[in-house]
């Protein structure tokens, strides 16, 4: 398996319900040398937003980040999914301006009724092309439980903005 299991390129929308998906992507998918099970990206900055909604089912990821957002704004809704991320780095979500031109990224991610373990990264990779910045708006709702860290291994100068909202009944 040498590609992500799910790809949303540009200002497209994808909705997945009640599926079993397995990813084992061993090849880098962007200029950052990141491999990912789910890739949301664009080569050139789009004037729109990529959208991904996954409701129900199971997602197995054994290599690379579970979700990687690069070079585009994204809206992601994850609900009632059993996630098995067995990659050694255990990166659940990464939002980075590591794309081909280093454009700004803003990812709005809502996670509902899930138990998640892993790390979250929002970073600004230095680029000679652009001063693009990354930002993550993360919402945990409907009894979601998240165990992990945000930007734990990202150099402070390269950290992207992160806004976290945890609704009553959810835990971080």
pLDDT band for position 96 (cuts 50, 70, 90): confident
Task: Return d(Cα 78, Cα 67) in angstroms, integer.
Answer: 11
Q: Note the pLDDT of residue 32.
A: 60
Q: Which residue has the tokens 């945890």?
A: 166
Q: What is the mean pLDDT of residues 70-80?
A: 93
Q: What is the mean pLDDT of the chain?
A: 87
At residue 154, the pLDDT reads 77
**pLDDT value of residue 103:** 65
Choose between 15 and 101: higher pLDDT: 15
**Proportion of the chain above pLDDT 70, given as a percent:** 88
CB atoms within 10 A of CB 139: 17
Q: What is the pTM of this model?
A: 0.91
| Mean pLDDT across 82-107 | 83
Per-residue pLDDT of 17-62, as tens digits, reads 999 999 987 777 656 678 899 999 887 766 789 999 999 999 999 9
> Could you tell me which of 71, 52, 76 has the C-alpha nearest to residue 133?
71
Q: What is the pLDDT of residues 102-121, one digit of tens each?
A: 567 889 999 999 999 999 98
- Tell whether the model's pLDDT for residue 70 goes beyond 70: yes
């Amino acid at each position: 398996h040498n590609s992500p299991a799910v790809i949303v390129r540009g200002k497209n929308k994808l909705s997945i319900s009640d599926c079993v998906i397995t990813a084992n992507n061993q090849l880098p998918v962007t200029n950052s040398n990141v491999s990912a099970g789910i890739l949301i990206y664009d080569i050139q900055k789009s004037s729109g937003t990529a959208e991904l909604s996954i409701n129900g089912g199971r997602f197995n990821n054994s290599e690379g980040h579970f979700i990687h957002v690069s070079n585009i704004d994204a809206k992601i809704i994850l609900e009632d999914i059993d996630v098995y991320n067995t990659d050694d780095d255990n990166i659940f979500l990464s939002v980075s301006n590591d794309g081909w031109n280093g454009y700004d990224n803003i990812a709005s991610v809502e996670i509902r009724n899930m138990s998640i373990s892993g790390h979250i990264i929002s970073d600004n990779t230095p680029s000679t092309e652009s001063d693009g910045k990354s930002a993550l708006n993360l919402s945990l709702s409907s009894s979601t439980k998240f165990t992990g860290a945000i930007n734990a291994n990202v150099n402070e100068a390269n950290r992207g903005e992160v806004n976290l909202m945890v609704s009553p009944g959810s835990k971080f």
